Amino acid sequence: MLNVIRKWLDERFGWEELMAPLRHKKVPLHKFSAWYFLGGMTLFLFGIQVVTGILLLLYYRPSANEAFESVQYIMTRVQFGWLIRSIHSWSANLMIFFAFAHMFSVAFLRAYRKPRELTWVSGMLLLFLVLGFGFSGYLLPWNTLAFFATKVGTEITGQVPLIGRQTMVFLRGGEEVTGATLTRFFGFHVALLPGITTVLLLLHIALIQRFGMSAPPSVEAEWAAHPEKKREMSFFPNFMLRELMAWYIALGILGALAAIAPWELGAKADPFAAAPAGIKPEWYFLFMFQTLKLIPAKVGFIDGEILGVLLFGLAGLLWLLLPFFDRGDKRSARWTMGALVFVVAYVVAMTVYGHVAK
């Protein structure tokens, strides 16, 4: 039966020819091969987000009067609603974690080198989009934490010179965070961001298909010197099956996390209540949050906040362009390795500090 369908498709589209690259794709085997799983894991969690997100849309109502109540309804009245929402929240956090881990592993293995610069750039843009998903989705339950996180987050956007204020008003749908903000964020979260992400994701995957998997420079050098040591695995089906197994386990872990630690809803947002003590952004924004807290109010003649925002903007831009600074020689290798270790140490330290700080 399957063969008949395959033959039918082959006669019309040249199915075998289309699928040939997949069959020829090889995964290099070396001591760092485990890191190749991270991108696929991020992709899988994105798939979980799409499925659970569509399910949540069946009951969610995007308005200031109804959003909180509709999430409450999902958590308490809809059968397995708590499970679907908790998986959506857990998977969101894990997806961001794996996206970061994937980015750092690619950086450490220097897989962004020629010809894969654009694969890196598309991946970085996807990471920014994922953070956008996190930021916009966080507001949707319309609870106190989300309300103030959005207030602070959009206020920081307002600090950017020249375009900041207009951007803030655009994001909020007005001067303040109101129901209009919720409506906008809902639109960003379920229409705008998914649309852009789908296109970029296809580009990212197509580029990976085009260039194949990158082996780290040290392994490449060793294989060039001793070709008999080169070891590879077919992507399809061997590596694919291993990935599916990892995804299957991940789904099990997600279900367990959602059951053991269902996501809380908190109290409904009240625009005229004081911000609760100890309020913090989600962990993936903590390193920026903590840095901004540490910068004094005035540095020379420039506002501390503005300086922080500008520095993070600059750092993000340099990071996006990382492949273009690596010339592929020994000197570049030392430089990028040093920068990487510094960035990872900084992000981890600031996240931990932000977590324990009062």
Partner 1 sequence: MEMQEHPEVQPGRRRLAQFILGGGFLASVISFLYPVLRYLVPPILPDLGGDEVVAGKVGELKPNSYKIFRFGSHPGLLVYTADNQYRAMSATCTHLSCTVQYRSDLREVWCACHNGMYDLNGRNISGPPPRPLDAYQVHVRGDEIIVSRKREA
* Binding residues for partner 1 (CB under 8 A): 55, 58-59, 77-81, 83-84, 237-238, 248, 251-252, 255
Minimum separation from the CB atom of position 257 to partner 1 (A): 15
DSSP 83-131: HHHHHHHHHHHHHHHHHHHHHHHHHHTTTTSTT-HHHHHHHHHHHHHHH
CA dist list (Å): 33 to 37, 38, 109, 124, 199: 8, 10, 10, 21, 28
Beta carbon of residue 161, minimum distance to partner 1 (angstroms, whole number): 47
Residue among 59 and 223 whose Cβ is closer to partner 1: 59
Q: How far apart are CA 276 and CA 278, in angstroms?
A: 7
In this structure, how many other beta carbons lie within 10 angstroms of the beta carbon of residue 110? 21
What's the min distance (Å) between Cβ of 90 and partner 1?
15
- Take residue 37 and report the two structure tokens written for it: 């799983």
Residue partners of 77: CB distance under 8 A and separation at least 6: none
Element (H, E) at 233: strand 232-234
- Cβ distance to partner 1 smaller for residue 108 or 236: 236
Helix (H, G, I), strand (E, B) or coil at 163: coil
CB-nearer residue toward partner 1: 59 or 97: 59
Q: Which is nearer to partner 1, 20 or 54 (CB)?
A: 54
Task: Name the DSSP class of 303.
Answer: E
Residue closer to partner 1 by CB (options 246, 251) is 251
Nearer to partner 1, 240 or 343 (CB): 240
Shortest distance in whole angstroms from residue 43 CB to partner 1: 18
